Amino acid sequence: MQNSLDHVNSLYRFRISSYIRKTFGDGSDTSQRVLKQFSPDPQELINPEHFSNDPLSETHSDIHPAVNLIHKYKSKVLVLVTSECPVFCRYCTRKRKTLMSKPEKADWLPALDYVKNNASINEVIFSGGDPFMLPVGQLQQMAMSFAQIKHVGFLRWHTRVVNTSPERVNQKLLDMFLALKEFHPQKIYTLVSHINLAEELTETVKLKFKNLQSTGLRLYNQSVLLKGINDDFETLRDLILALIDNQIQPYYLHQLDRVEGSSHFEVKEEYGLQLMQQLREALPAWAIPRYVRDSKSGKSNLFY
């Protein structure tokens, strides 16, 4: 067992933020489920066919036309601004850049040039890794540069910082969003969090979301359906209720991307569909996230 764990640790980086350790260190069932998302497991050495280190083929040149940029849908691009996160999720789709890479220098200038020269792009999504791991000054310079492009009307941040390292949501970060709104009031600013369990929305985290919303950000959430973590009706229902109670719109429930070392988290799609049907019967339709499977060519709706 120890040898297997050592092997796992030699393959993948491991990180759990001090906030998560402190908040979920009581050994309860819920805490263990939270921690399981980030904890190395010998089962990561099992790699069935079709599990790879780039399950969405993001390194293919046809959707990867510039450094740190993914252009899959005509009107939007994803800019990968860092390989760092406050926690490393063991099932991370972009494991090749997060758990399997060394810290990389943020290099977003090629992406900026690409977007400037492509008028069909109206939305820029900052992702990574977690964009909020960058110093706020750098984040602001980057966001302002993209916001200045006339044909870009929407800026979006994908982050797990709010619920795993809430101290990073400080006044400086809030001021950045206020400044964006002030200088470019006609643009739409969106934050998409990654929360898989209602319990991740602690009082501290709720307050941070409220602060972010007060800057004019629209809040959405994406979750991943994970075996042994949130693959039952009650857990998903409680998650959705906690999100809407905090004015965060449930956006996506992702079928696991088949990234290497994550097969023990996979839930069968047929079972996922049953869960979605139960949720649809129990909750308002507008509160139900889209259950999707992602691929190189984009998302397919499994249940909507």
Between CA 144 and CA 172 the distance in angstroms is 15
**Identity of the residue, 71 or 94, whose beta carbon is nearer to ligand SF4 in the bound complex:** 94
**Residue 293: Cβ-neighbour burial (10 angstroms; 0-12, 13-18, 19+):** middle
Query: CA-based Rg of the chain, rounded to a whole angstrom?
Result: 19
Site for ligand SF4 (CB under 6 A): which residue of 76, 94, 156, 258? 94
- How far apart are CB 186 and ligand SF4 at their closest, in Å? 30
The residue behind tokens 């904890």 is: 39
Pick the binder of ligand SF4 from 85, 236, 276, 288 (CB under 6 A).
Answer: 85
> Minimum CB separation from ligand SF4 for residue 273, in Å?
23
Q: Is residue 55 within the footprint of ligand SF4 (CB under 6 A)?
A: no
Enter the tokens of residue 144: 């302002």
Amino acid identity at 24? F
What are 24's strand-pairing partners?
none
Contacts of 44 (CB under 8 A, 6+ apart): 8, 11, 12, 90, 261, 262, 264
Q: Does 230 bind ligand SF4 (CB under 6 A)?
A: no
Instruction: Give the nearest distance from C-beta 158 to ligand SF4 in angstroms.
Output: 7
Per CB under 6 A, the segment of 89-97, 107-115, 182-190, 214-222 that binds ligand SF4 is 89-97
Residue whose CB is less far from ligand SF4, 71 or 160: 160
Q: Which of 55, 128, 131, 289 binds ligand SF4 (CB under 6 A)?
A: 128
Q: Does 123 bind ligand SF4 (CB under 6 A)?
A: no
CA distance 176 to 182: 10
The sheet that has 290-293: what strands, in order across it?
69-73, 76-80, 123-127, 154-159, 188-194, 218-224, 249-254, 290-293, 300-303
Binding residue count for ligand SF4, defined by CB under 6 A? 11
Alpha helix (H) residue ranges in the chain: 2-11, 18-23, 29-36, 109-116, 136-147, 161-164, 171-183, 203-214, 233-245, 269-282
Binding to ligand SF4 in span 142-171, by CB under 6 A: 160
- Looking at the Cβ atoms of 14 and 73, the one nearer to ligand SF4 is 14
Q: What does the alpha-carbon distance between residue 246 and residue 86 come to, in Å, rounded to a whole number? A: 22
Longest dimension (CA), the chain: 56
- Go through the chain and tell me how many residues it has: 304
Contacting residue, 8, 92, 219, 225, with ligand SF4 by CB under 6 A:
92
**Closer of 69 and 92 to ligand SF4 (Cβ):** 92
Q: Does 289 bind ligand SF4 (CB under 6 A)?
A: no
Candidates 194, 206, 208, 254: give the one binding ligand SF4 (CB under 6 A): 194
Interface residue with ligand SF4 among 66, 69, 106, 129 (CB under 6 A) is 129
Stretch that binds ligand SF4, among 92-100, 247-255, 278-286, 292-300 (CB under 6 A): 92-100
CB of 24 vs ligand SF4, minimal distance in Å:
16
Q: Footprint of ligand SF4 on this chain (CB under 6 A)?
A: 85, 88-89, 92, 94, 98, 128-130, 160, 194
